[in-house]
Amino acid sequence: MSGERVAVGIVGAGPAGLLLSHLLHLAGIDSVVLENRSREDVEGTIRAGVLEQGTVDLLTEAGVGSRLHREASFHRGVYLRFAGATHHIDMQELTGGKRVTVYAQHEVIKDLVAARLAAGGDIRFGVSDVALEAIETGRPALRFTSGGEPRRIECDFIAGCDGSHGVSRHSLPAGTLQRYERIYPFGWFGVLVEAPPSSDELIYASHDRGFALVSTRSPTLQRMYLQCDPGDDVADWSDDRIWAEFRVRLETRDGWAPIEGPITQKVIVGMRSLVHEPMRHGRLFLAGDAAHVVPPTGAKGLNLAVADVRLLARALASFYRTKDESLLARYSDDCLRRIWKGQRFSWWLTTLLHRSDSDTAFDRRRQLAELDYITSSRAAMTSLAENYVGLPFE
Ligand code: FAD
Ligand code: DHB
């Protein structure tokens, strides 16, 4: 078995793991990233689309924003649609210039992988059996299998950036983590559509039949979502049924209809809110979906992951510069303050826009009154806007 040594061992080549590795590199700290999927798979998985202003600024400052600035769509705000009418929320104006950036997660990943590899970074794709060892000691290690060979890498620290189904969180002794969870009785049916954009900005629609969202990916490819039953089978949703549902849920009194086209991908995602506390145990630090998950409505998951690794990179850089552990000691508390605000916002927007079987006619009237309030009160609109474009990092 080979024995290697690196400063920081990172599990997971998602946005959290790759950005952490890049930020550490900028601070002169070496790392290895272990990923159990192939590079093609990681770079091809369709997930998030909306980046907060702070995420865009951080990627730009870190030197990985040039393609984003060329290819992303920059929007002033979003549309809220309900009761047959559309209301624009001008977030740029309401937040003093912050914009909504639509740039797919897998494009962020491609940019980060390219930057790491160009700088000689060490990303091991397609490894298996990753296991964390001795995280309560000063010499933690990662064991894994690569090319059929068992490997072991000793580290100073391990970052668990392996998403909600990863191995890192489960390496902690039982009872170490407090789990806070809410599961929603609905899911999202996501489609990719070969068509030009139906709208110049995203449309969040609340209809008696449920939520619908019009997003985009490029001038020729659109991303749209429908609230569905999380137990639904993709096979039960024909293209005709999907379009009929979009037409109804997105209808306006002036006859708006989405531009239709061939549907090239269908996926169902469940929705939950989940936080594990604390985000550190010994020499293991959790970041991103490995520690917390939000329902996608507020477009916060990737952005929260980015905020976590920004703090983790800063705390590690401070440790290697001065041997001062105070930022590492504060890491979990500092992250969780912002994470809980992201959780609150994601829960609030989700319950505002979706229909639940247990909702009464009263609940629907209350939702519509709240939507009316948000779209007519500058104070309410500003609250929505500042959360959507991203609360300040500190
Ligand atoms: P992940 O992206 O899950 O990365 C974890 C990585 O670890 C993966 O590559 C995985 O293969 C790897 N891994 C797992 N287990 C192991 C193991 N045992 N060994 C080695 N590697 C392992 N967020 C937003 O901010 N904006 C949005 O608009 C948005 N929209 C979304 C829409 C949908 C439909 C969905 C599903 C999510 C959306 N999100 C959004 C959430 C966002 O995609 C996630 O929060 C984000 O991917 C979290 O990044 P991460 O790096 O923490 O985890
Ligand atoms: C997208 C995803 C979201 O969760 C959201 O709130 C808006 C857009 C997207 O995939 O484009």
Cα(274) to centroid of ligand 1, in Å? Answer: 14
Cα(195) to centroid of ligand 2, in Å? Answer: 17
pLDDT at res. 2: 57
Which DSSP symbol is given to 262? Answer: -
25 among known catalytic residues: no
Quickly list DSSP for 300-318.
Answer: -HHHHHHHHHHHHHHHHHH
What mean pLDDT comes out for the span 364-369? 98
Cα(15) to centroid of ligand 1, in Å? Answer: 7
pLDDT at res. 59: 98
Give the mutation target among 73, 102, 105 for probing the ligand 1 site: most ligand atoms within 8 A of CB: 105
Q: Round the CA-based radius of gyration of the chain to a whole number and report it.
A: 22
Closest ligand to Cα 222? 2
Query: Would the CB of 21 count as within 6 Å of ligand 1?
Result: no
Which DSSP symbol is given to 234? Answer: G
Give the mutation target among 289, 293, 306, 389 for probing the ligand 1 site: most ligand atoms within 8 A of CB: 289
**pLDDT-based confidence at residue 394 (cuts at 50, 70, 90):** confident
208 touches 363 (CB < 8 A): no
Query: Would the CB of 48 count as within 6 Å of ligand 2?
Result: yes
What atom in ligand 1 is closest to the CA of residue 225?
34
Cα(210) to centroid of ligand 1, in Å? Answer: 25
Residue 1 has pLDDT above 70, yes or no: no
Distances (CA, A) of 378 to 129, 189, 281, 343: 53, 32, 43, 23
In whole angstroms, give the CA distance from residue 304 to residue 339: 7
Q: Which of 75, 281, 292, 354 is catalytic?
A: 75
Question: Would you give the end-to-end CA distance of the chain in angstroms?
Answer: 44
172 touches 281 (CB < 8 A): yes
Q: Which of 25, 98, 296, 354 is catalytic?
A: 296
Residue 75 has pLDDT above 60, yes or no: yes
pLDDT at res. 71: 96
In whole angstroms, give the CA distance from residue 68 to residue 350: 28
pLDDT at res. 3: 77
The strand pairing partners of 123, in sequence order, are 33
What mean pLDDT comes out for the span 140-154? 97
Query: Would the CB of 346 count as within 6 Å of ligand 2?
Result: no
* pLDDT tens, residue by residue, 269-303: 999 999 999 999 999 999 999 999 999 999 999 99
Query: Would the CB of 300 count as within 6 Å of ligand 1?
Result: yes
* pLDDT tens, residue by residue, 305-354: 999 999 999 999 999 999 999 999 999 999 999 999 999 999 999 999 99
300 among known catalytic residues: yes
180 among known catalytic residues: no
278 among known catalytic residues: no
Single pTM value for the model: 0.97
358-378: b (≥16 Cβ within 10 Å) or e? eeeeeeeeebeebbeebbeee
Task: Give the type of residue at 255.
Answer: G
In whole angstroms, give the CA distance from residue 205 to residue 210: 8
In whole angstroms, give the CA distance from residue 118 to residue 116: 6
Residue 140 has pLDDT above 70, yes or no: yes
In whole angstroms, give the CA distance from residue 248 to residue 367: 19
In whole angstroms, give the CA distance from residue 18 to residue 108: 10
Query: Would the CB of 301 count as within 6 Å of ligand 2?
Result: no
Which DSSP symbol is given to 64? Answer: -
3-state secondary structure of 86: strand
pLDDT at res. 303: 98
What mean pLDDT comes out for the span 142-157? 97
Query: Would the CB of 49 count as within 6 Å of ligand 2?
Result: yes
Closest ligand to Cα 15? 1
On average, the pLDDT of the chain sits at 97
In whole angstroms, give the CA distance from residue 55 to residue 307: 8
Query: Would the CB of 163 count as within 6 Å of ligand 1?
Result: yes
* pLDDT tens, residue by residue, 25-42: 999 999 999 999 999 999
Percent of the chain residues past pLDDT 90, beyond the cut: 98
What mean pLDDT comes out for the span 231-254? 97
279 touches 332 (CB < 8 A): yes
Quickly list DSSP for 149-188.
Answer: EEEEEEEEEEEE---TT-SSGGGSPTTSSEEEEEEEEEEE
* pLDDT tens, residue by residue, 166-207: 999 999 999 999 999 999 999 999 999 999 999 999 999 999
The alpha carbon of 38 is separated from its chain's Cα centroid by a whole number of angstroms, namely: 20
Distances (CA, A) of 56 to 61, 192, 197, 262: 9, 24, 23, 31
Task: Give the type of residue at 222.
Answer: Q
